[in-house]
Structure 1
Amino acid sequence: MSHLLLLRLLFLTGTICQARLINSEVVKDVSVYLCSHISTYSHANMNFFSYPVQFCVTLRSDKGIREEIKDLQSTTSLQSRVSISWRQLATANSCRLTFKGYQTEYRISPDLGGYETCQTSISRHLFKLSQGMNLGIEHQKRIEFNSTNQDCPILNVPTVYPEYVSCKFTSNEWYQIEWKSTIRYETFRNGEYGTYWANDTQNFIVKMSEEMRRNGSEHVWLKRLLKLESRLEGCDATKLLIRFADDWTYSANSVSLSYRIFEGSTKIHSDHIGTFNVEGWKELNIPLKRIPGDHEICAQVLHRFIHVLGLKFSASESSSLPPLRLFQNRRCT
């Protein structure tokens, strides 16, 4: 089943008219950076990888302590969880961490030791996982993580050693990072309790490039993978160039194109142009309609490793009608 990369989902249950709705926690920026040079913690039991190149990832959200206090003021109970998972696109193995919500900053390091308050608990947990590995895969049992420090924001880590091994980022490989935020809260109004949920899902396709730091939003990371360029051909057509990043090594990419026209925020026309196989790059001529409004072409990339990516693009402005414009706040739906 395909899902839009830029799609965010909001699910609510309960009687929404009786309480202020709480918005889900959303990622604003993902930063990938080299952290081999960063001094390690002094805790003797931490197991740091000895490889020369190590990568760390930081996800920054729109909610912190201030937002949590504000949300608590309108609820009788509130529980927030953030699940972050990642996997190399060429493999099915993934690593997953679960955090307490409202952290603003969520850090991932090679040995899961991105938080000093979690060092001791994670160190002991990894030791237990390694002991289980010595017994052989067929005898391994899942070991649940138990933090001994209430200030540790990490709630769950891999429960078997092979999952922990997949947590390490490999240089020059593409990864899919998935963010899932869940906020469950209750309210009491007019003598009745109401239960509500606010959920958010986001995906980022990133490459572990040996640059000191790369960061950006969903849209910025997507533009590093897929590039769309256009040139108007008179008033009736535009020439479109679809091009993947030079270091994107996966083949059999299918790109689905749709053409829409907006008048303000209202969609007044929509056509599915077609689905095309793109090996590296492809050039197309797209006919345009002489209808006043904002004209937009949306590309969705269907890949066996990636569900669906969504992207819009703009053409160079000219006096010819109609111009194509970029709308980053619109999705390919």
Structure 2
Amino acid sequence: MLFPFLHLSLLSVVRLSAFQHHQLISAERPLRLSLRACTSKMEPFQLDTMLFFPPELKICASVETNKGAAALARDTRRTTFLNASVQLWLRPVGSAQHCTVEYTGYQGEYRFAPDLGYYQPCQRSIALLIERLVEADERGGDRGNSSNEHMKQGRHRQNQWWPIDQQSDANSATAGNPNCPIRALPGTIRSLNACQLQAGHWYELAFRSAIHFEQLLPARRLYQQHWANHSSTFVFKPEREVWRNGSELSWLQRLLQLRVKMKNCEAVRYLIRLDEQWPAVPLPVTVFIDYQVRENAYVKHARHLGNGTLLDGWFTGTFPVWRTPDLRTHELCVRFAWPRSLNRHRICRVFMHGRSSLDCDPLSYYNLYTTVVAGSAEEAIRPSADGEVRFWSCEHHHAKDIRCKGRLHTNLNNNVLREVGNHQCEPSAARMEAQRVITKIKRRAEQTMEPPATIRSLSLQNVATPVLAQLPTKNAIKKVIKRVRHEINAPPPVPNTLTDLIIPDAYKMYGRTEEQTEQFLLADSGVYQENGREQR
């Protein structure tokens, strides 16, 4: 159906309703970069089989995004035209060679190593491309590429990347193959070789997505054209590991470690350390260190602590804490880059969250082990064998998305003796208070026979709204109460034989009232019949 051309004034374009803004399509963003150890000869990574790594072990790499087939169907219904593409730009850190591969958007996962992701519908086109690139490289070598003219041509071809539907012959069945998600490949054999990953080397991966879409708004007589773009940069190092994935920040933290530790709530000591396999001599890393205090998203105080180059791979320093009675968040941020880096990266560590620097407590970022003591659930400290040391764990230790490994060893006076692991997550006062509410619910379930709804309503009285957001759902709290009561009233295990039968005292007595009890089982003769014979 053809629509007449609509002459739009600037005023009509600017006046968009809130409903129209909600109809705009968001950009395709990367969720995580996954690296897996893979091989084409056998499957050594199985649950019930343990085999040695084969010598031909390779690194399978892919980028997972937030838009797949379901998002494509949803966004197609909201547009009259939709064209999406994703470009992956890969190169070894500090190298002039790079690999560029363009895909059709909305794939959900984009594989790029090894063998360009080994997409089966694309293999014929890729084989023809490699053959042509090898022939072009050989012809260039025969003519003598050492001349300035051929060197310029070589650099020009290196920056090219060819559409894959133009690499195959005209009669090829793979020309314009809609089942092949790859649109374009590198234009030289050297750029194609840069797509291969090697263990122990650092790489930069630039993710660039673009969605071009058009929408018709008949109610306002508007035909709009939009672009939704996004770019991210991953810095990663493949290793001989079975599987590792993570976001852009999690991969960046493997390159540069930032550790922050408070000293008596007056000063902060920090340590910046590079990965041991980073080429620090040819690629020195320059860091910019800043200390800032913010209230939510607003920075109230900022101080530049210094900048320099990590020639030895590490740097340490100390700075005083800004004293303020306000409840604010204190953090240390490090911006760093190296020669020819794609971006200037940034890592921050929070060492005081939502507290006053005049009344701080380093132990507030660690909570107690939640254990079961004498059949009752309560918060208790897990002591050492000699009882002289207490072990503290981060409140996010059991969280599914964080699983922080931070630990503290303190004496009986709560003086820090040792810090184990890297405590990187931000503490949450609401989460800690929610844990106390759950403990209160468990104790009430043990001590009373009130219905679960009554226990929940009485325990949630005068609880702050941020704490309510951290609590489990109504059905989950009901299951917690039933589980606690089941552990208390659980029957004894069924014995394997009659000789193993031991009747607990609780099953020998019953109560008429809360104060009067009588013995239900007067005696046990111990005589029983087995195979027609009397046994004792």
* TM-score normalised per structure 2: 0.53
Separation in structure 2 between the aligned mates of residue 144 and residue 185 of structure 1, nearest angstrom? 21
Separation in structure 2 between the aligned mates of residue 38 and residue 31 of structure 1, nearest angstrom? 21
Q: Is the 8 A contact 1:242 1:281 kept in 2?
A: yes
Match of 2:322 among 289, 302, 318: 289
Which secondary structure state, in structure 2, belongs to the residue aligned with residue 136 of structure 1? helix
* Cα deviation code 1:61-108 (max 9, x no counterpart): 010011111112221111111000110113111001000111001011
Q: How far apart are 1:315 and its partner, in Å?
A: 3.3
Q: Is the 8 A contact 1:312 1:326 kept in 2?
A: no
Separation in structure 2 between the aligned mates of residue 38 and residue 70 of structure 1, nearest angstrom? 40
Relative to structure 1, the CA distance from residue 236 to residue 67 in structure 2 (aligned partners, 3 Å threshold; closer, same or farther) is same
Which secondary structure state, in structure 1, belongs to the residue aligned with residue 164 of structure 2? coil
Which secondary structure state, in structure 2, belongs to the residue aligned with residue 270 of structure 1? strand
The runs of 5 or more residues in structure 2 that have no matched partner are 1-12, 43-54, 142-149, 166-173, 366-423, 428-536
Q: How far apart are 1:144 and its partner, in Å?
A: 4.3
The letter of the residue matching 2:91 is R
* Corresponding position of 2:45: none
* Corresponding position of 2:38: 35
Match of 2:121 among 117, 120, 126: 117
Which secondary structure state, in structure 1, belongs to the residue aligned with residue 251 of structure 2? helix
* Corresponding position of 1:185: 213
Relative to structure 1, the CA distance from residue 79 to residue 130 in structure 2 (aligned partners, 3 Å threshold; closer, same or farther) is same
Separation in structure 1 between the aligned mates of residue 426 and residue 261 of structure 2, nearest angstrom? 18
The letter of the residue matching 1:94 is H
Does residue 246 of structure 1 match 2:276?
Answer: yes
1:1-333 equivalent positions in 2, closer than 5 A: 15=14, 17=17, 18-19=20-21, 20-37=23-40, 52-136=56-140, 138=150, 144-146=163-165, 148=175, 149-189=177-217, 190-251=220-281, 252-278=284-310, 279-291=312-324, 292=326, 293-306=328-341, 307-315=343-351, 320-321=359-360, 326=425
More helix by share: 2
Relative to structure 1, the CA distance from residue 227 to residue 99 in structure 2 (aligned partners, 3 Å threshold; closer, same or farther) is same
The letter of the residue matching 1:204 is F
Q: How far apart are 1:237 and its partner, in Å?
A: 1.8
Separation in structure 2 between the aligned mates of residue 128 and residue 150 of structure 1, nearest angstrom? 22
More strand by share: 1
* TM-score normalised per structure 1: 0.83
The letter of the residue matching 1:29 is R
Which secondary structure state, in structure 2, belongs to the residue aligned with residue 313 of structure 1? strand
Q: Is the 8 A contact 2:201 2:277 kept in 1?
A: no
Q: Is the 8 A contact 1:241 1:281 kept in 2?
A: yes
Larger relative CO (CA 8 A, sep 6+): 1 or 2?
1
Q: Is the 8 A contact 1:83 1:179 kept in 2?
A: yes
Separation in structure 2 between the aligned mates of residue 296 and residue 217 of structure 1, nearest angstrom? 21
Percent identity for Structure 1 against Structure 2: 28
Relative to structure 1, the CA distance from residue 77 to residue 229 in structure 2 (aligned partners, 3 Å threshold; closer, same or farther) is same
Q: How far apart are 1:38 and its partner, in Å?
A: 5.6
Q: Is the 8 A contact 1:295 1:322 kept in 2?
A: no
* Cα deviation code 1:283-303 (max 9, x no counterpart): 111222123301111111121
Separation in structure 2 between the aligned mates of residue 201 and residue 128 of structure 1, nearest angstrom? 31
Q: How far apart are 1:266 and its partner, in Å?
A: 2.7
Separation in structure 2 between the aligned mates of residue 125 and residue 182 of structure 1, nearest angstrom? 25
Q: How far apart are 1:113 and its partner, in Å?
A: 5.0
The letter of the residue matching 2:332 is I
Which secondary structure state, in structure 2, belongs to the residue aligned with residue 112 of structure 1? helix
Which one is further off, 129-138 or 86-95?
A: 129-138
Relative to structure 1, the CA distance from residue 203 to residue 274 in structure 2 (aligned partners, 3 Å threshold; closer, same or farther) is same
Q: Is the 8 A contact 1:113 1:122 kept in 2?
A: no
Q: Is the 8 A contact 2:137 2:189 kept in 1?
A: yes
The letter of the residue matching 1:288 is V
Which secondary structure state, in structure 2, belongs to the residue aligned with residue 247 of structure 1? coil
The runs of 5 or more residues in structure 1 that have no matched partner are 1-13, 40-50, 329-333
